[in-house]
A and B are shown apart, each in its own frame.
Chain A
Amino acid sequence: MNIRAQVSSVFHLDKCIGCHTCSIACKNLWTDRKGVEYMWWNNVETKPGTGYPTQWEDQQHHQGGWQKKGNDLQLRMGSKGASLGRIFHNPDLPTMDDYYEPFTFKYQDLTNAPAGDDQPTARPVSMVSGKPIKIESGPNWDDDLSGSNIYAANDPGVLQLSEKEQQQMFAIEKMVMFYLPRICNHCLNAACVAACPSGAIYKRGEDGIVLINQDKCRGWRMCVSACPYKKTYYGWTSGKSEKCIHCYPRLEVGEAPACFHSCVGRIRYLGVLLYDADRIEDVAKLEDTELAAAQRDMILDPFDPRVQEEALKCGIAAEVLEAAQKSPTYKFVKEWGIALPLHPEYRTLPMLFYVPPLLPVISKETLNVQKLADDFFTSLEKARLPLKYLAGLFSGGNEEEIKAVYRKLIAVRIQRRNTTVGDMSAEEAQKARDIAGVDSDMIEAIFRMTTITSIKERIVIPPMLREQAIEAGMDTETYKQEMGFGKRQPPKRRW
C-alpha cells in the first residue's frame, strides 16, 4: 500500500444559491490581472446549461480526460507522440471566443463628454484589444437561463436524454435548474499533469494539490485541452497556463481557501482523505458505471489501526492523520456515501465531490399550500430532474448510485420533518430510513453537518507542516525550479 493524503472538498448543491460570491472572492484574490481577466478558477454554472467554456462537458468535441485504449489508459487527445506532433498548433484548444472576450466600459466618457443634447454613454470596450466591442458573451452568460434554447437546450447532458425527457425538463411551470460551482478537482489521475510536455504540472505529495510551475511552463497549452473540466487556463499575456491553486498559501497558514471562506450558503466542506495511490491506475480503468463506487472504495478509513500504521510508514504525519479522522469530506463521501464525484467517466479521479441537489422539493400544491407529494420517496423516477441527467453528471450514468444518495437525503428530510414540523409520522421516517439503509444517528449527523456546524467543523485544514519542508533544512539551490523557491523576478515577460 502506498497511502497518500489528499485535501479534498465536498460541495452541497442543495445549499448553493448561485450568488457567485465564491467566484468574486477568487477573482479578487488571484485573477485580477491583465491577461487572466477571462479566467474563473472558481465559477458557478447553471444546470442545465452549456457552462464555461461553452459545452465543456462534450468530450467528443473537446477531447479532454482519459479513455481506455485496449488495456491501457490514454489521454483522449492522443498518445504522447501524437501530442508532440501537434505542438505547433494544438487542435483541441478552445479559443477565447468559447470562453468570452473580457470587456470593460469607457466610464470616463460619462464625465469627459462635451455638453450636448444626448446623454453620454459608456461604451463597452474589449480588455484585450481596447477596441469597442459588441458584448456577446460573458462570465455566466447563461446564468439562470434554464429555459434557453441556446444554452440549456444544448447542455451536453440534456442532449443525451430522450426527446420526451427533454420536453419534460423544459415544460412550463416544471422547468428546473440548479447551480454547479466548479473549481479544480485536484484529481488523483490528473489529465493536465499527464499532458504537460514540459513536466511543469505536478501534484504535491503531501496534500495532493495540483500546481503549475510557472518557470517550467513553456506554454504548450496541452493541459488546457487535456483537462476535461477545462480548469486550466492559458494566460494570453504571460504565455503560461494557470489554474486553481486551492489557495495553498492560505491553507498553509490554516486559512480556508477564499471561495470556501466566502461561501454564503456554507455549501463547501474541506478535509483530508487518505487513499491508496497504488490503486489509481486500476480504478481509472474500470467501466464508466463502476467508477464512482470504486473511487469511494479506494478511500481508506483513518480510524482503522492497520491503515494508520501504514500511513505513518508512508510518511503521513500523525497530525495529518488526526485531521483525516475529523475530515467532513470523509464523512460525506465514505461514511455517509452521499457525495459523488463530478463526471467520474473522465477517469481523472476528481477529488471534489458533490452532494446532488434534491431541490425542488417534490411537492404538490393544494389551495396555495405547499404539501409534500404522497409518493414522496417512491417516485424518484418522476422527479423534475431526470435521474438519467443526474447520473450523467455524478456517477458515469449509474442511476443506482444516484438513487442510493437520494434515498438517504429523503430519509434525512422526512425524519427532520417529523421532528420539527410533525406532519410526517415516525413510521414514515422509519420507512424512509429502511429504504435508504441508514440509522437515526447517521441522519442526525448528516443534518447537523449540513445545517448548523461551524466553520471549524466544515473546513478541517490539515497542518501543512511547512516548518518541515525541504527548503527549511536543505540546500535551496538543489531544489530550485522544483518547489517554487528561488524566484527572483516577478512573473512578467520582459523579453
Chain B
Amino acid sequence: MSVNRFIGRCMITLIMLTFFTSLGFSAEGDPARGKALFIGNISFEEGGAPCLACHGIAGVGFAGHSNYGPDLTAVHENFGAEGVAGILQSLPFPSMEAIYINRPLTEAEQLDLAAYFSQTSQLSVVPSNAILALQVSCLVIAILGITFLIGLRRMRATRQPLIDNQRNLVNKGGLQ
C-alpha cells in the first residue's frame, strides 16, 4: 500500500533526521568542557552541584570513585546518546530533584556533558575501595603518630616510680 509505504518512509526519514540531528548536536558539545563541568572545575551556570560530588567516573584519578550515586563511566554505553540527553535534560531522580529543580543544566552544558560521557565509555573503572581504605588508615596512623610525639612531652607520674624503684630494690635484696 502506497499510503502505508509513504508513512513508513516518512517515519524512517523522521528517525534518520532525529538521529542525524542528535549526531550533529553531539558533535557540537565540547568533551573537555564537559569534563571540567563534571568535576566542578567550571561551575554550572545555574549553580547546580557538579556531578563528581556523587557520581563516580573513570579518568579523573582516585577522586573519580564517588559512590553516592551510580558510576557514570559507562552511562553512554548503557543508555545511549538519547537516553543520556534525556536524563541530562530533566535529571528525574528524587534525590537530585531538590538540587536541580531550580538550577537546571543549560543546553550547552548538557551537550558538553553528553560529549564527555561518550568518551568515558572506553575507559575501564578500577575498583578503589581498598586503596582508599589503605590511604585513610595510613593517615589515621600518621595522626595518632603525631599525637604520640606530642605525648612525649607529658609529665610522668612522680610518686609511684619512687616507690616502685624502692620495692624493686628490696625485692632484689639490695636494700632493706
Contact = CB atoms under 8 A, between A and B. Distances in A.
A166 to B, nearest CB: 15
A137 B159 contact: yes
27 contacts: A50-B162, A53-B159, A54-B159, A54-B162, A55-B158, A55-B162, A61-B155, A61-B158, A89-B154, A91-B151, A91-B153, A91-B154, A92-B155, A94-B155, A94-B158, A97-B160, A98-B157, A98-B158, A98-B159, A136-B163, A149-B166, A149-B169, A149-B175, A150-B163, A150-B166, A151-B162, A154-B162
B157 A97 contact: yes
Interface in A56-101: 58, 61-63, 89, 91-95, 97-98
Interface in B136-176: 151, 153-155, 157-160, 162-163, 166, 169, 175
Q: Which interface class (under 10, 10 to 19, 20 to 34, 35 or more) fits B?
A: 10 to 19
A163 B169 CA distance: 19
Interface string A35-66: 00000000000000010011100100111000
Question: What are the nearest 10 A-B pairs in CB distance?
Answer: A54-B159, A54-B158, A91-B154, A98-B158, A150-B166, A91-B153, A92-B155, A55-B158, A98-B159, A150-B162
A50 B159 CA distance: 9
A413 B22 CA distance: 117
A63 B155 contact: yes
Interface string B106-141: 000000000000000000000000000000000000
Interface of chain A, main secondary structure = loop
Contacts of B169: 149
Contacts of A149: 166, 169, 175
Contacts of A98: 157-159
A58 B159 CA distance: 12
A62 B155 contact: yes
A91 B155 contact: yes
Nearest to B154: A91
Nearest to B165: A150
A97 B163 CA distance: 12
Contacts of A94: 155, 158
Residue of B159, B166, B175 contacting most chain A CB atoms (<10 Å): B159
B158 to A, nearest CB: 4
A61 B166 CA distance: 20
Q: Which bucket holds chain A's interface residue count? A: 20 to 34
Contacts of A61: 155, 158
Nearest to B160: A97
Contacts of B158: 53-55, 58, 61, 94, 98
Nearest to B150: A91
B78 to A, nearest CB: 51
A54 B175 CA distance: 22
A53 B158 CA distance: 9
A94 B162 CA distance: 15
Interface string A123-162: 0000000000000110000000000011100100000000
A62 B169 CA distance: 26
A94 B175 CA distance: 29
Nearest to B169: A149
B175 to A, nearest CB: 6
B163 to A, nearest CB: 6
A79 to B, nearest CB: 14
Given A97-B159, A150-B162, 16 more contacts: A50-B159, A53-B159, A54-B159, A55-B158, A55-B159, A55-B162, A61-B155, A63-B155, A91-B151, A93-B155, A97-B157, A98-B159, A137-B159, A149-B175, A150-B163, A150-B166
A119 B162 CA distance: 35
Nearest to A50: B162
Contacts of B163: 136, 150
Contacts of A95: 157
Contacts of A150: 162-163, 166
